[in-house]
Amino acid sequence: MGSTRPGEAEHVRERVEAAADRYDLGRPVEPARLAARGQMGVIWLLVTDRGRFAVKHLLAPLDEDSVATEVGLQSEMVRRGIPLPTPIRTPDGRVLADVDGLLLRAFTWVDLDEPRTDLDPAAVGGLLAVLHREPLAASGPVHPWYVEPVEPGTWDELGGALAAAGASFSAEFGVFARHQLRQQDFFAPPRRLQLCHRDLWADNLRTTTSGGLCVIDWDNCGPADPGQEVAGVLTEFCYARPDRARTLYAAYVDGGGTGRVTSRGDFTMAQAQFGHFATAAAQRWLGTTDQEVRDRAEAWFRLGLENPLDVEHVDELLAALPT
């Protein structure tokens, strides 16, 4: 759903409400309500006579095979006690439902607080340890999004296109490109692989309104180096706060987490994602004339400017961790 025009939103709402029957969730007792928008889909709150549910309108094609790994990981993490929205299957056992051309998924509903990066570092480290310990094997190569740098030519091409199109952030894109190219000198391949969440930013690791932490949006899970995932979590929740990094990492190690952060190369996953976030945002902005979509693309790009992960900040985090 590119922009939320009234007619289009109503079209989606009707199909979200129809998903109650498809997933056997009960009878809707109020209109479905748009609750959140992410890069992978749009979340609707569906209230029925059986309770509250999250229905996700997927923005990219998926099939049952492509979600099998994710659902398996979620099921294991539920068994381990990690709070998360549990996937719901249709009566015939399917995760996905095509409702009049709209691809949907359903989950149990969790009331979440707004994203924050000042979460209790010990609690974050302990939760991440539970996710990583007793590792689940991961097959296949790591997706380039998590390990490969953006090529210099891509930065140049997109920067030129943004400037030619009059994008308000074209100059900042050029500065960020030069910053990222400097950081790419420190990229390192994964040391070991296991099944990881791979998207543990503050949007997806939150507190609930009843207390405690909850992990959402497992869509991007797959093979990764657990140490590189830990470094990404340190980046998000401990930026310029080495005291928090020390506490988070100690809780993670004490909790049996399998990853280790020992060098600049362990921040490859975070740096790679920052680069791909920026270039994907630029491509999305250039690919449309819809101002609402362009505004969201620019906002996505600007997220990477808030806490630039330069060598000094990486080294500050590394110095806080035990060797």
**How many CA atoms, within 13 angstroms, populate the side-chain half-sphere of residue 220?**
21
Question: What domain range is 92 assigned to?
Answer: 6-108
Same domain, 145 and 11: no
Same domain, 83 and 125: no
Mean per-residue pLDDT of the chain: 94
144 domain residue, yes or no: yes
State the Cα–Cα distance between residues 292 and 3, nearest whole angstrom.
Answer: 6
Indicate which CATH number applies to the domain containing 27. Answer: 3.30.200.20
Tell me what the mean pLDDT of segment 138-143 comes to: 87
Same domain, 40 and 179: no
Same domain, 100 and 66: yes
Q: Tell which of 108, 141, 166 closes a domain.
A: 108
- Give the strand pairing for 194-196 and 205-207: unpaired
Give the pLDDT score at 200: 98
Same domain, 157 and 57: no
Give the relative orientation of helices 121-132 and 226-238 as an angle to the nearest 10 degrees: 160
Same domain, 99 and 126: no
State the Cα–Cα distance between residues 87 and 105, nearest whole angstrom.
Answer: 8
Taking CA atoms, 149 is separated from 35, 72, 260, 302, in Å, by 34, 30, 22, 19
Same domain, 79 and 179: no
Indicate which CATH number applies to the domain containing 291. Answer: 3.90.1200
Same domain, 190 and 149: yes
Percent of the chain with pLDDT over 70: 98
113 domain residue, yes or no: no
Tell me what the mean pLDDT of segment 228-244 comes to: 98
State the Cα–Cα distance between residues 125 and 252, nearest whole angstrom.
Answer: 4
Give the relative orientation of helices 170-183 and 268-286 as an angle to the nearest 10 degrees: 150
Alpha-carbon torsion (23, 29, 31, 35), positive or negative: negative
Same domain, 287 and 213: yes
Q: For 12-28, write each residue's pLDDT tens digit.
A: 999 999 999 999 999 99
Q: Quick one: tokens of 252?
A: 């993670």
Give the relative orientation of helices 226-238 and 268-286 as an angle to the nearest 10 degrees: 70
Cβ neighbours for 145, distance < 8 A, ≥ 6 positions apart:
272, 273, 276
Taking CA atoms, 320 is separated from 1, 208, 241, 323, in Å, by 44, 29, 9, 9
Give the pLDDT score at 270: 97
Q: Quick one: tokens of 215?
A: 């992990």
293 domain residue, yes or no: yes
Tell me what the mean pLDDT of segment 152-174 comes to: 98
116 domain residue, yes or no: no
Residue 125 has pLDDT above 70, yes or no: yes
Q: Tell which of 61, 81, 108 closes a domain.
A: 108
Taking CA atoms, 47 is separated from 16, 27, 83, 288, in Å, by 11, 8, 21, 34
pLDDT confidence tier of residue 5, bands split at 50, 70 and 90: low
> Residue holding tokens 């309108």?
57
Same domain, 101 and 149: no
Give the pLDDT score at 3: 45
Same domain, 182 and 312: yes
Burial class (CB in 10 A: 0-12, 13-18, 19+), 118: exposed
1 domain residue, yes or no: no
For the chain, counts of helices (H) and of strands (E): 11, 10
pLDDT confidence tier of residue 139, bands split at 50, 70 and 90: confident
Q: For 166-208, write each residue's pLDDT tens digit.
A: 999 999 999 999 999 999 999 999 999 999 999 999 999 999 9
Q: Tell which of 80, 108, 136 closes a domain.
A: 108
Q: For 29-58, write each residue's pLDDT tens digit.
A: 999 999 998 878 899 999 999 999 999 999
Tell me what the mean pLDDT of segment 101-108 comes to: 96
pLDDT confidence tier of residue 7, bands split at 50, 70 and 90: low
Alpha-carbon torsion (175, 176, 180, 183), positive or negative: positive
Q: For 57-99, write each residue's pLDDT tens digit.
A: 998 889 999 899 999 999 999 999 999 999 999 999 999 999 9
Q: How many domains does the chain have?
A: 2
State the Cα–Cα distance between residues 183 and 29, nearest whole angstrom.
Answer: 52
149 domain residue, yes or no: yes
Q: Element (H or E) spanning 159, and its range?
A: helix 152-164
3-state secondary structure of 287: coil
Tell me what the mean pLDDT of segment 122-151 comes to: 95
82 domain residue, yes or no: yes
Same domain, 33 and 160: no
115 domain residue, yes or no: no
Residue 275 has pLDDT above 50, yes or no: yes
Q: What is the DSSP letter of 39?
A: S
